[in-house]
Each structure stands twice: as C-alpha cells, then as structure tokens.
Amino acid sequence: MLIRIGSRGSALALWQAEHVRQRLAALGHEATIRVIITTGDRIQDRRLDVVGGKGAFLKEIEEAMLAEEVDLAVHSLKDVPTALPAGLRLCAVLERADPRDALLSRAGLGLKKLPAGARVGTASLRRRAQVGALRPDLVLQDLRGNVDTRIRKLGEGECDALLLAVAGLERLGRRGEATEVLEPDVFLPAPGQGAIALECRQGDESVASAAGPLRHAPTERAVAAERALLAGLHGGCNVPLGAYAQEEREGGAVRLTAFVARPDGSGLLRGQARDADPLRAGAALAEQLLARGAGELMRG
C-alpha cells in the first residue's frame, strides 16, 4: 500500500512530513509526500485570526484528504483546531519535542534585559499577551512568515527580537540561534506545541493501523488535557491563552497549567489542575478559569 502524505511546503512542514515518511518506511510502509499550498501560506500580509485562524494552515490539506487525493496529513498539533471536519480524525500524536518558546534577539539580550521600547515581533496573541504582562514597556509588532522568513526579518532590522517555538528551531538545525529559552513556569506554550499530529479519514483503518506504532501515549495524554482546556474555553488563535501539561512520573496523573488574558496581557489569569483523566483535568481547569472571569477577558 502506498500512503500519500499531504503537507504544507514550508521547510519545517516538509521536515515533519519527511520525518513521518521515514518512520513509516522503517515499519515497511511506502509513502510519498504531496505539497499543498494552504490559505495560511498564501496570505502573509494579514493577521492569522483574520484569515481563518490556525485552521487556515489545514483547510486545503483536509479537503484533499476528503477528496481521497492524499491519505495522511502531517500537522503541527498546535495548528489543529479541537473540532475536526466530519469524516476526519487524528490517528496518532508523535512523541513531543521541546514545547518551550525561545527569544531571538539581535543584541543577544534576554527578555528581562531588552531595553524599554525594543520591538518584539510575533503574530501570536498568546505570545503578545505574555510579553505584555511581563514587559509592558516593550513594543509588540506583527511578524508573520515561516521560521526562516522571520529570522531573516530579524536580521534585517524589522524588529529587535522575536519569539519562536524551540521545536521548530531544533528541527531546522537553528536551535543555536536562540538567545534565551523561556520556561513554562514563566511563559506558557500553545496547547500541543512541539507535538506532531497525524490526521486520516474516518474508516481508513489501513492508514490508521500503519500510523499506530508512531503514537506516544504520554504525549497523547498530555496534549489531550491541553486540548480539552482549549475546547472548554472555546479558544482558538483569536484568544490569548497558553497551556502545558505533563504526565507525572509517579502515579500517572496529568498536571495541567494554563493562562488566559486580554490581548495586551492585562488581567492575566493563571491556574492549574491535576487529574488521572486528562480530559477531566482540562475541563476542570477551563471551568475554574471561567469562574474567575476568563470569559470576560476573552471577549476583550
């Protein structure tokens, strides 16, 4: 059986698709990669929440899968909405890479030491809100594009610093360019950040079976909690929120930490939940944050 993999055309997306292709090949499955240009790739001059949110990076690939033009999609899980189109499902989540964010600075300064008025580039409301809460004296400006494009813009002086996912830098061999790695107890990542998700058609048991050995149970439990929180808050890329869960070494419970804030970082609420059931942990923390006023924050 030949498995046709659908992928975006960025260097990072192709790295991820090739990684999956090689993993499948090691299991005896032949696979090819088809590049599909998505709305999120085509439209680079507008904020992501305006062009359809993170789902804008999936739409055309999912349409190709439903049309049976490809069989398996490889996504960065943080880009995958909690509600999938009818007829599709996630069939595996791979072991998570480093989930943290990194700051890249032209002057080699960390977030605390950037001078007042320094320009920090990011298109992420989550990152903007946390920078705004930690350093309200910095200037935040929109910066879109793939990893290489954003680093090039930093080098050209369009901003003084920018924020990127450590996992993406690692996969592209650019981890050494990070000035500072931001720990989750200070700067929370996006739900699912660092994890690769595989999506296939409902009922396509041959593809789901081929992808099955790539699943990583501890990662799936952790991201299930994060995505349950996201669903409970009805959050998307137009909501400044972050979440990070880990499975505890003893006992197997999942510990989930999350924040919600206004886009400028004001009113930031942070909370934590712990439960053996990751879905229950996510739902409980969403309920806790809503009870503390998260709904009003998310409405702006």
- Asked whether the beta carbons of 174 and 92 are under 8 A apart, the reply is no
Amino acid at 46: R
Which residues, in sequence order, are CB contacts of 47 under 8 Å at separation 6+? 123, 142, 144
- SS3 at position 39: helix
CB atoms < 10 A from the CB of 116, how many? Answer: 9
Residue 79 is among the residues annotated as catalytic for this protein:
yes
Sign for the CA dihedral angle at 19, 70, 201, 11 comes to: positive
Question: Where does residue 117 fall: left (phi above 0), alpha (psi -120 to 50 degrees), or beta otherwise?
Answer: left
Residue tagged active-site, from 41, 49, 71, 79 = 79
CA distance 131 to 73: 33
Cβ–Cβ under 8 Å, residues 289 and 258? yes
Pairwise CA distance, residues 167 & 14, whole Å: 14
Q: Mind telling me the catalytic residues?
A: 79
